[in-house]
């Protein structure tokens, strides 16, 4: 699969790159994607939720009313979960939501995500970008030239570039990552994935 390389003005250059069929041309595996996205979101959870149970509530241990003769249910403590202000019954406790997946499955999920983008015209191959200084205006100009100002964009660089990353940091619809740190969720969450020309070799090396 050959794709034209776009320059920073949004025009097609004379260069073409061949996308690896074993990554961008495979039949996507939906279950692998589901598991990888589920793990990504689970690992982001803090798990610091906590509700007080009856043994943690401050209050008197006096018996509220006599055991029999009131016509109502027995009540032995003001800390009971059935009483307003009492402890929470089976409330949330701090826990770790993360779980592990095999590396081969995670690679398959990322390949499937890229394949979906390739099939649905969601990939843009861009010449390597390098700004002289940190300016959000420069990045906005680049996005406007590519006619992506209204889309959620994932920008994948071949290597760390602080000027490009910091120039995009204030833009809500744009996320800039390096090719060695891209994940399935980010690829699928973006409407357009912009691949810097140098990032293709890194992606192919990792996923193959």
> 191: pLDDT confidence band, cut at 50, 70 and 90?
very high
Q: Using CA atoms, how far apart are residues 163 and 175, in angstroms rounded to an integer?
A: 14
Q: Using CA atoms, how far apart are residues 17 and 118, in angstroms rounded to an integer?
A: 13
In DSSP terms, 17 is beta-bridged to 3
Q: Could you tell me which of 162, 137, 147, 134 has the C-alpha nearest to residue 194?
A: 147
Q: Using CA atoms, how far apart are residues 45 and 23, in angstroms rounded to an integer?
A: 30
Q: Using CA atoms, how far apart are residues 105 and 29, in angstroms rounded to an integer?
A: 10
Q: Could you give the domains of the chain?
A: 2-45+97-207 (3.40.1370.10), 48-96 (no CATH)
Tally of CB atoms within 10 A around 170 = 10
Q: Using CA atoms, how far apart are residues 6 and 147, in angstroms rounded to an integer?
A: 12
Backbone angles phi, psi at 5, to 5 degrees: -90, 130
Q: Taking the alpha carbons of 98, 102, 106, 109 in that order, is the dihedral positive or negative?
A: negative
Note the pLDDT tens digit of each residue in 101-155.
999 999 999 999 999 999 998 899 998 888 888 999 999 999 999 999 888 999 9
Tally of CB atoms within 10 A around 19 = 20
Note the pLDDT tens digit of each residue in 38-87.
999 999 999 999 999 999 999 888 999 999 999 999 998 999 999 999 99
pLDDT of residue 1 exceeding 80, the answer is no
């Amino acid at each position: 699969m050959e794709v034209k390389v776009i320059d920073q003005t949004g025009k097609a250059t004379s260069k073409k790159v061949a996308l690896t069929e074993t990554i961008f041309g495979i039949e996507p595996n939906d279950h692998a994607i589901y598991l990888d996205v589920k793990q990504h979101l689970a690992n982001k959870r803090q798990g610091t939720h906590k509700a007080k149970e009856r043994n943690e509530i401050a209050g008197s241990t006096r018996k509220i009313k006599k055991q029999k003769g009131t016509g109502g249910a027995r009540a032995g403590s003001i800390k009971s979960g059935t009483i307003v202000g009492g402890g929470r019954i089976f409330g949330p406790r701090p826990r770790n939501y993360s779980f592990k997946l095999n590396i081969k499955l995670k690679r398959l999920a990322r390949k499937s995500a890229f394949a979906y983008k390739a099939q649905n015209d969601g990939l843009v191959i861009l010449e390597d970008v390098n700004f002289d200084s940190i300016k959000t205006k420069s990045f906005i100009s680049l996005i406007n030239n590519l006619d992506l100002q209204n889309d959620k964009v994932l920008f994948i660089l071949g290597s760390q570039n602080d000027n490009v990353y910091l120039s995009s940091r204030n833009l809500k619809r744009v996320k800039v990552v390096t090719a060695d740190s891209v994940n399935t969720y980010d690829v699928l969450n973006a409407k357009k994935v912009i691949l810097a020309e140098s990032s293709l070799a890194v992606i192919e090396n990792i996923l193959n």
